Structure 1
Amino acid sequence: MIVQALRTPIGTAGMSLGSASAADLAAPVIDAVAAGLGEHAAAVREVVLGNCMGPGGNLARVAALQAGLPVTVPGLTVDRQCGSGLAAIVQAASTARDEAGLVLAGGVESPSTAPWRCWPPAPGGEPTRYTRAPFAPAETGDPDMGPAADALAADFAVSRARQDDYAARSHARAVATQRAGGFTAEIVPVAGVDRDERPRERFTAERLARLRPAFGAGGTVTAGNSCGINDGAAVVAVADAGSHRRMGVPALRILATATAGVDPNRPGLGIVPATRTALGRAGLTLDDMDVIEFNEAFAGQVLACCTALHLDPERVCPEGGALALGHPWGASGAVLVVRLFTQLLRGGGGRYGLAAIAVGGGQGVALVVEACA
């Protein structure tokens, strides 16, 4: 049972949250979630955080201590690349099924403060900086996400115009939600920032159409129909059913989760098998879902997944997604769950929800929830 869900504002790397480390982002959200549990915070027995590019070590432990949790609460940091935040929640759900109590789970990313990493030099050589770890062995195929998104859009004949239209709609929805205060209840201010930085009112399809392809002259993926590089954190509190009954608060029941693998050369398709498996385990279909949150890494990628799933793209991210809000890698999967919590519980937007995210290296993670008292 997910009984609390909060996040930081999402900032553009190097901008509003640029001076905050990963622990600086995660700690205030952990603290706020724990505070929202009231007397039940004493039942928190672990913190699990996803992270991709942080300083290394056990970031979850550092952030938990920085948040002021008791030293008796251990921490675990997980890395499933872009799926890390959702994978942390899946791990927390597994723990809650076996043991009574609460687990705080989510993810965090601070590209602004991520350390520079280098391969050891060859004898007589110099260290060589690398910007990301390998997603897959080179002989299997290890494309960067942008070129892979271009290839996926081509595979599914997703036109440039459709991608720009989708991206413009994501921004328009996020701007409308922001103006209506739809994000306010889920955001924990950090470093004086209390609103998402990226949504743009003027990102119309006509304006986006002027941008050049980002990954080759023949491509359709641009900076405008892709997510940004972003800082942010998100944390939820996961309780076993007995603890939830004692708390007596509205919650999201986790009905099913799934993690799947696909061809590393088409990593964006990971959403598809993960979604199918999670829905099958829940005994539900896409038609049953009231809110669907896919991580919008690239418009073409989301549209390709919708085609494969026979899903109307209009149903995805009804209040705007990562194209508008941003994609703080290790946190993004957890942000999806915070968005479900707000729309299904705070906003009374229905009964069932689905969150799914694709992962570099060819993986996908999905989670199906039900709103309940």
Structure 2
Amino acid sequence: MVGSVLLSARRSPIVPRNGAFAGLSIEEIAAPIVLAALNDAGLAVDEVDELIAANSLGAGGNPARITALHAGLPERVAGLTIDRQCVGGLDAILLADALVRSGRCDVVVAGGVESYSRMPLRLKTFSDARPPEQFEQAQFTPWPDRDPDMAQAANQLAVTLGISKAEQDAWAIASHQAARSAPVDHIVELLGVSNDPFTRELSERHCARAPKVSGSVSVANMSVAADGAAFVVVVSSQWAKERCAKGVDLLGGQTIGGNPEMPGLAPVEALNQTLSSLNICRSDLRSVEIMEAFAAQAIACVDGADIDPVIVNNWGGSLARGHPIGASGAVLAVQLFHRIQVTGGLGMAAIAAAGGLGSAIALSL
């Protein structure tokens, strides 16, 4: 049976909105990462069959196609852009997995890119005489009363599960601490930035002073909006064998929909279904990357999926980096790819998205 292999994985620094990448277009952030991943894989641009990019905040126009052209890929590479919000980066990789397993493609570059800094203004229009209204958060359900603000949903999750502010702050502090000592050789330098500039020495004193956003959720224990990109090179196992190319096996993954009022819990079922479908025991996992859009959500997922926290986000998480929505799932995959080069064995990544979505992926070295 044909499987798929990740040959390489690269990402940009993750830079908070209106920071060093504020002047870059989406393709200017993404293309250098695509080329770095191909270079690591020992591939020329004309060997690529498809490029899949998740993007959630752009103005449309198929950013994947624009990125492919900007990176110098052949014109025959059509480019496919997907939008599943925060889970999109992982889902782009799962879609690449499906393409190579089906035999449609041998080499696919997949990941995500986001620029909060260059996010276009969006206006809601009406059929009556009311003037258009600007909005930032898109609609994720047809029911306004079941489409919560994400910070409010995270606070409600914390209340429901009894996750204290002290626990959330401690998770955030640990995330920054781990990120400060993490390797950066998988990060592609852009505009002179070679690491994640938001990472800092967060303390209890800082957390106590941080403005509250909703209940126990504060600016210290939730991710900041950010710009960034992450891409991996996915090939068929048969292609890798013929080329004597070594990489990391992509075992599979799951994307599921859950309760839109509790989006932070959706990755739990995605993790459970992935473990079950692949007959993986939790005790066999060596490394896990969990999205930290909110500390409360990360804690809930780790507890809900019964994952040993000792193996989670050992190089820090998005609380210490930032959250480039469409790219965040791919950032997790890049982190996992390089982390299991150290730990060996099995690893998983999982992420939640507004609307009650959860995605998970499993890799093995």
Calculate the TM-score normalised by the size of structure 1: 0.93
- Partner residue of 1:29? 33
Deviations for 1:281-302, whole angstroms, at most 9, x for unmatched residues? 1111221111100011111111
Measured in 1, the distance between the counterparts of 2:175 and 2:279 equals 30
- Change over 3 Å in CA distance of 1:198–1:284 after alignment to 2: same
Other structure's SS at 1:163 match: helix
Q: 5 Å matches for 1:177-192?
A: 177=182, 182-183=183-184, 185-192=185-192
- Whether the 8 Å CA contact 1:228–1:323 is kept in 2: the answer is yes
- Partner residue of 1:319? 315
- Whether the 8 Å CA contact 2:264–2:353 is kept in 1: the answer is yes
Other structure's SS at 1:209 match: helix
- Whether the 8 Å CA contact 1:161–1:209 is kept in 2: the answer is no
Other structure's SS at 1:113 match: coil
- Whether the 8 Å CA contact 1:110–1:231 is kept in 2: the answer is yes
- Partner residue of 1:136? 141
Deviation at 1:57, TM superposition (A): 1.5
- Change over 3 Å in CA distance of 1:246–1:57 after alignment to 2: same
- Which of 93, 105, 109 in structure 1 is aligned with 2:110? 105
- Partner residue of 2:266? 270
- Change over 3 Å in CA distance of 1:78–1:39 after alignment to 2: closer
Pairwise CA RMSD: 1.4
Deviation at 1:124, TM superposition (A): 3.7
Whether 1:91 and 2:95 are equivalent positions in the alignment is yes
Measured in 1, the distance between the counterparts of 2:41 and 2:267 equals 32
Measured in 2, the distance between the counterparts of 1:40 and 1:233 equals 20
Give the unaligned 5+ runs of structure 1: none
- Partner residue of 2:167? 162
Measured in 1, the distance between the counterparts of 2:282 and 2:43 equals 38
Report the identity percentage.
Answer: 38
Other structure's SS at 2:213 match: coil
- Change over 3 Å in CA distance of 1:359–1:74 after alignment to 2: same
- Which of 52, 59, 66 in structure 1 is aligned with 2:63? 59
Other structure's SS at 1:55 match: coil
Deviates more, 1:32-41 or 1:231-240: 32-41
Deviates more, 1:250-259 or 1:114-123: 114-123
- Which of 139, 148, 152 in structure 1 is aligned with 2:153? 148
Aligned length: 360
Other structure's SS at 2:98 match: helix
Q: 5 Å matches for 1:342-357?
A: 342-345=338-341, 348-357=342-351
- Whether the 8 Å CA contact 2:337–2:363 is kept in 1: the answer is no
Whether 1:126 and 2:120 are equivalent positions in the alignment is no
Measured in 1, the distance between the counterparts of 2:320 and 2:217 equals 15
- Partner residue of 1:176? 181
Deviates more, 1:265-274 or 1:97-106: 97-106
- Whether the 8 Å CA contact 1:40–1:247 is kept in 2: the answer is no
- Whether the 8 Å CA contact 1:12–1:198 is kept in 2: the answer is yes
Measured in 2, the distance between the counterparts of 1:200 and 1:247 equals 42
Measured in 1, the distance between the counterparts of 2:210 and 2:77 equals 49
Deviation at 1:74, TM superposition (A): 1.4
Deviates more, 1:29-38 or 1:288-297: 29-38
Measured in 1, the distance between the counterparts of 2:282 and 2:318 equals 21
- Which of 114, 120, 125 in structure 1 is aligned with 2:119? 114
Q: 5 Å matches for 1:216-235?
A: 219-235=215-231
Which amino acid counterpart does residue 65 of structure 1 have in structure 2?
Answer: L
- Whether the 8 Å CA contact 2:46–2:74 is kept in 1: the answer is no
Measured in 2, the distance between the counterparts of 1:191 and 1:207 equals 29
Give the unaligned 5+ runs of structure 2: none
